[in-house]
Structure 1
Amino acid sequence: MASADLRQELDCSICLNIYTDPVSLRCGHNYCRVCIDCVLDTQEGSGVYTCPECRAECQERPALIRNIPLCNIVGRLWLTQPDQGETGIFCTYCIHSPVPAAKSCLHCEASLCDNHLRVHSKSAEHVLSDPTTSLGNRKCSVHKKILEYYCTKDAVCICVYCSAGEHRGHRVEMLVEASEKKKEKLRNVLHKLTTKREETEKRLQSLQGHRREDQEKAAGVTERVTALFRGIWRQLEDLEKRVLSEISRQEESFSLSVSDLIQQLEIKKDELSRKMRHIEELCNMSDPVTILQEPDTDDLCDIEDRERHDDQVHGGGDLDVDLMSGTFHTLSDIIRGIHVCFYMQEPTDILLNVNTASNNIHISDDMKTAYWSPNQNHVETPERFQCNQVISTNRFSTGQHYWEVEVSKSESWGIGMCYSSIDRRGGQSAFENNNKSWFLRRYNKNHQYLVIHDCKRIQLPDNIPCDRVRIYLDYEAGQLSFYALCDPVRHLHTVTATFTEPLHAALRVWGGLIKISGEIRSWEK
């Protein structure tokens, strides 16, 4: 009884449970930190804070002091009575103070501590279980008897009377036995769910990794574009300043020339006016002697010459037309710089290597078309294929590239990429029979498609209207993709591999021709 009273001293007067992180007020009363914080929060704005027990007042919110000795006592109590902390269920018969329950009696529908358990009935009908508050659902709702069996047909828990009554003839099992079987099923389900969750986590991590890569790529491209346009604006501003400055300089020079000319013309105008007045005076005279004695005025010719010179000066004062031409050239350079920024290499032709073409393939003069033509009698070289194949002179060991192939005049064809170390003789030299080539093949009039690598074939959907094919290579990512350039463009297949050698474009001809159309577009990541 004394221990129960001592135990009661460790209860918080607010939540009525054992202290959790006990703190003390100035008045000496102890509370759970969370409990007293909530009380003080409700007193905000009232102008005064009071202790919930002694009502001691404080104008300012009191500081909470951690009660270390009390914390240690509570900690030791929890260690010695773990069940209380785990279940929170107390003895039904200990009415003076809550004592943790050790067992629950299904028959009595009561929980018992160790002391009351010692004097409890030991008869079979008094079934004991771990402490629980759900005692009512452990009895039959009809007969009020303890549930002892499980009916497998109706999937319900029943008592002994139910098994002899409405469930007579049904297969029944003891609760423990049925529970173990269900646990086994649940373990199997748990195993499957765990496997699915692990697979989901892997997919999630993979997608998150791809998203991070895409975000990093997008951030890199954004940074490049921002820097590019900043540079463009700076170049355009500098160009604008230079052009406007040159226009101002030419305008000022022209204005000075015109001002000098205006001044000269004004002087000439005054001189002409003076001469005109003098001539008018002579014309109005009646004395012949005076008129004849006046010197000749043939200097008007000199005035006309000067006028012609003035016209030439005026004609040469226009703005320099080469200025705008230079401006356009500069703008062209800026635009070319934008192109180079995104396409690190200028578009180039992809050319077929004549020395690799078999004796049944003719290569056009522009080295872009492979024709089926038997018995070409090519000069024998170590590079020449025995099969009806040819590869490009171009090789790719980094970056991203794409080009297009026209196959409209050939019912059966093969296109792809291969290493230069591929065999040139024997069965291993055929593109589909080795691990050094990746190959898209169309054969017969039904337009059936295969992707082949190292004798492994992947059947693609039939009847794809495909007269032009685009091949896209991302060397670092290890991806080789094929696209049918129909309307709309269709993705045929993407091969994933780890490329370890430079790659060449590869063609195989079975009658007709295959033409490389367009140019190689290449860029760096």
Structure 2
Amino acid sequence: MAAMADLREELLCSLCLNLYTDPVSLRCGHNFCRDCIEKVFQNQNRPGDCKCPNCRRVFWERPELQRNITLCNIVERLQVTEQQGFSVTCTYCVHLPVPAVKSCVMCEASLCELHLNVHSKAPEHVLTNPTQSLENRRCPTHRKILEYYCTEDATCICVSCRLDGQHGEHRIQTLQEAGEKKKEEIRHLLQELKTKKEEMEKRIKRLEIHRRNVKERSAKAKKKVAALFEDLTRRLEDLETKLHGDISQQEAQVSLSVTDQIRRLEEKKDEIAGKMSSLEELCSMADPVTLLQERLSDNNGVSDTEEEEDGEELGDLDVELISEALRSGLSHILSDRKDVVYVSEAVDISLDVDTAGNSIEIAGNLKILSWTKNTANRQQTAQRFQYSQVLSVQSFSAGRHYWDVESSKWGDWRIGVSYASAARHGDLSWIGHNRQSWCLRRRNEEYTVRHDNEDHLVPHRIMVLRFRVHLDYEAGQLSFYELCDPMRLLYTFTASFTEPLHAAFYLWEDVYGRRSCLRIITET
């Protein structure tokens, strides 16, 4: 502490006796505050008047002031240190701030090491860690030191407060006892927070692992897609080459046929030209006897070309054959690459009446279900749900599958998947209330997803009452989509499926008594 005080002495300007402010240096090596030395030089205008206030060195011209960056940094650090370390200073060190090491509640004073050594050691002089709020250590009513704690009023009191009757029947503890109890509560709270912190760290770690896995899967998917398009490009180019060849072959065949017809017609044309020349010669004869004795053919020397032209068939490209080759080629290419294209199978879901609760009506070739107040009086079996729920006949233990569902405008419902081992009776049998089922839920026109009795709010406003349930069994993903344009993801569950999954449905009326209805959409 003494060294700190000595350092402060070295950082005082000799003109203003305060810590340097924007310190500057003269050529003689002495330092001053910029404002201080400029004021001195303002009164020294004539040559030879400019002198250093410390060493009296003469400057024939007003010296240029150079900012002392090092000294400026030292002053700034000292000020920061004083603000942090000297928040409580000794009450008795009036000439120079010295940090306090203890505070006396009785004297309402703070003491440095030197004054602490000569301070009274009497018991009433209670010493605490350095503090500026010594006033809070005394009773505001009796001005005595606070020694007790009233648990009922939750306040610190002095001995007079305890004896004057105001707290007479209250439970009183010493400050030490109350402090230990408070510490115990804080320790308990700390333990709870520590547990929560550890849980948060575990969740963060799981999320980081999930993010890393998604990144790895994304890289693999991109690599797969790149390979797919490279292969598709090659196959399409091969198909294009083949189709070009087929078209060229058809063109050659048609061209050959047309060329042959042109050749034959050219021969007919030459024959006709010869006949025309002979007839023209006859027309030019002057002797009628010779003309009349010339015998003409029945068709006047013209063959039946017109009849041949009327009956001939001109060849052309077979567009349908080319189209069929294109369709067949594209279909073959896509069917060979289903493993890369992530093709999901659209499944034809039908409802299992043997599992349907008696408050469900089933119609439409086992595709439509609605809630009813009338009991269906179906035979009670171990497979039948107590409440208005039903499973699908189909189950899925591998692959990618999806099915679409359309809901009514009113009523409450749930759509999702469930193991066949799920309970059939009691509150835990409801879809989403147990570990065996997952669902998208509408209740009072609010949409959530639910599993193991835990809800998550769907972040989007639902605009279209058509939904898709998509199951990727091996990946352990169950996703719900809104079938708007474009299709929008609502939520994805991630789980390790251990049993075959059935499509599951739940129906109920809403708060206004309007019944719900669901229809399984069959692709055509």
Q: TM-score normalised to the size of structure 1?
A: 0.54
Cα distance change of structure 1 residues 410 and 463 upon mapping to structure 2, 3 Å threshold: farther
Distance in 1, matches of 2:341 and 2:249, equals 38
Q: How does 1:56-75 map to 2 (within 5 A)?
A: none
Query: Is the contact made by 2:449 and 2:458 (CA closer than 8 Å) also made in structure 1?
Result: no
Structure 2 residue identity aligned to 1:159: E
Kindly tell me: are residues 316 and 346 of structure 1, through their superposed partners in 2, closer, same or farther at Cα, counting changes over 3 Å? farther
**Equivalent in the alignment of 1:369:** 368
1:393 corresponds in structure 2 to 393
How many angstroms apart in 2 are the aligned matches of 1:253 and 1:464? 62
Determine if the alignment matches structure 1 residue 515 to structure 2 residue 513.
Answer: no
Match of 2:43 in 1: none
The 1:263/1:156 distance shift into structure 2, 3 A limit, reads: farther
Alignment-derived partner of residue 295 in structure 1? 295
**Aligned residue for 1:411?**
411
- Corresponding residue for residue 384 of structure 2: 384
Counterpart residue number, 1:319? 317
* 1:215 Cα offset (Å): 2.2
Does the CA-based 8 Å contact 1:447-1:464 persist in structure 2? no
Q: Quote the offset at 1:294 in angstroms.
A: 1.8
Whether the 8 Å contact between 1:414 and 1:509 is mirrored in structure 2 is yes
Structure 1 residue 416: Cα displacement? 3.5
8 Å Cα contact 2:394-2:502 kept in structure 1: yes
Rounded to whole Å, the distance in 1 between the matches of 2:272 and 2:457 is: 98
What is residue 61 of structure 1 aligned with on the other side? Answer: none
Find out whether 1:329 has 2:327 as its counterpart: yes
Provide Cα deviations, 1:155-196, integer angstroms capped at 9, x if missing partner: 99823137769xxx9965799xxxxxxxxxxxx9x9999999
Deviation digits for residues 210-232 of structure 1 (CA, Å, limit 9, x no counterpart): 23312221122212222222222
Partner of 1:218: 218
Q: Which moved more, 1:361-370 or 1:373-382?
A: 373-382
CA distance in 1 between partners of 2:521 and 2:274 (Å): 80
CA shift digits 1:439-464 (9 cap, x unpaired) = 56555xx556776666x454869997
CA contact under 8 A between 1:149 and 1:160: conserved in structure 2? no
CA distance in 1, matches of 2:507, 2:129: 76
2:248 counterpart of 1:248 = yes
- Looking at structure 2, the residues matched to 496 and 404 of structure 1 have their Cα atoms a distance apart, in angstroms, of 20
1:134 corresponds in structure 2 to none
Cα 1:150–1:278 change in 2 (3 A) is same
2:115 pairs, out of 135, 156, 161, with 161
For the 8 Å contact 2:235–2:333, the answer to whether it is kept is: no
Q: Given the alignment, which residue of 497, 500, 512 partners 1:499?
A: 497
Residue type matched to 2:323 in 1?
S
Residue matched to 1:35: none
Query: 2:206 matched to which residue of 1?
Result: 206
**Whole-angstrom CA distance in 2 between matches of 1:371 and 1:413:** 10
**Structure-1 separation of matches of 2:280 and 2:485:** 91
Q: Which amino acid aligns with 2:296?
A: D
Matched letter for residue 508 of structure 1: Y
Q: One-letter code of the match for 1:240?
A: E
Deviation of 1:345 after TM superposition, in Å, equals: 3.8
Does the CA-based 8 Å contact 2:355-2:391 persist in structure 1?
yes
User: What residue identity is the alignment partner of 2:376?
Assistant: Q
> 1:240, 1:143 → 2: CA distance?
98
Tell me, in whole angstroms, the C-alpha distance in 1 between the residues paired with 2:467 and 2:275. Answer: 90
* AA partner of residue 316 (structure 1): L
Q: Secondary structure at the match of 2:506?
A: strand
Change (3 A) 1:320 1:425: same
Letter in 1 for 2:518: K
What is the RMSD of the two structures over their aligned residues, measured on CA atoms?
5.1
Instruction: Give 5+ residue unaligned stretches, structure 1.
Output: 1-136, 176-187, 521-525
Structure 2: unaligned runs, 5 residues or longer: 1-84, 131-186, 510-514
Q: TM-score, normalised by structure 2?
A: 0.54
Following superposition, the deviation at residue 481 of structure 1 comes to 5.5
Aligned pairs for 1:6-25 within 5 A: none
Q: Which stretch of the first structure deviates more once superposed, 235-244 or 370-379?
A: 370-379
**1:447 to 1:157, Cα distance in 2 relative to 1, 3 A:** farther
In structure 1, the residue matched to 2:71 is none
Matches of 1:340 and 1:465, distance apart in 2: 33
Aligned AA (1:504): H
* Structure 1 residue 402 displacement after superposition: 4.7
Report the equivalent of 2:276: 276
Q: 1:9-64 CA deviation, whole Å, 9 max, x = no partner?
A: xxxxxxxxxxxxxxxxxxxxxxxxxxxxxxxxxxxxxxxxxxxxxxxxxxxxxxxx
- State the alpha-carbon separation in 2 of the partners of residues 397 and 265 from structure 1: 72
**Equivalent pair of 1:416/1:440 in contact (CA under 8 Å):** yes
